[in-house]
Amino acid sequence: MARNELLSRSFMFLSFATAGLLIAAQWQTGSPALSFRLFPDSQSQTRLLATHANISTAAARTVRLVIDLSDREVLVYKQDKLQATYPVAVGQAGWETPTGTFKVTDMERNPKWQHPITQAVVLPGEDNPLGSRWIGFWSDNMGQVGFHGTNQEDGIGQAVSHGCVRMFNEDIEAMYAQVAVGTTVVVKP
């Protein structure tokens, strides 16, 4: 067997093995759907690409989220044109929402929640403080901050969270459909 053919077959095996592991991890965690496509490259080999089923990485580059902490709202821009504005709750004193420019790092439907102080875990459902969606954009290896729904909608418009940006569940679901991992998030005081 020629060396190039051996390399090509090895690459294909590793590609399909990786795809299998990603699919298994997705099934286990219930993460957003991934699709896999095969593409021939310039050397007549085949590459396996994983893409988010709902949105492309190109969309992540055209959408930008701007959180205005003082007005307690998030603005969604697509190609610098305002698409939507949603009211939010932000971090309370001692748990302020971090300011700066970030990128969406992870997204999850029906997330589990772990209390930042007691470490108690709450499964998805009506009692889950994260609501139906999670869009993470900041982490310090001890905790995470992101957008999420809520089971306490009366707190929207106030500084009541542990640093996260709480939204009405229908609003986070609409915004979730417009962003992807890599979307820019700007948090202004």
Hey, which residues are catalytic here?
A: 148, 164
Residue 29 tokens, joined: 């965690």
Give the Cα separation of 146 and 76 in Å (integer).
15
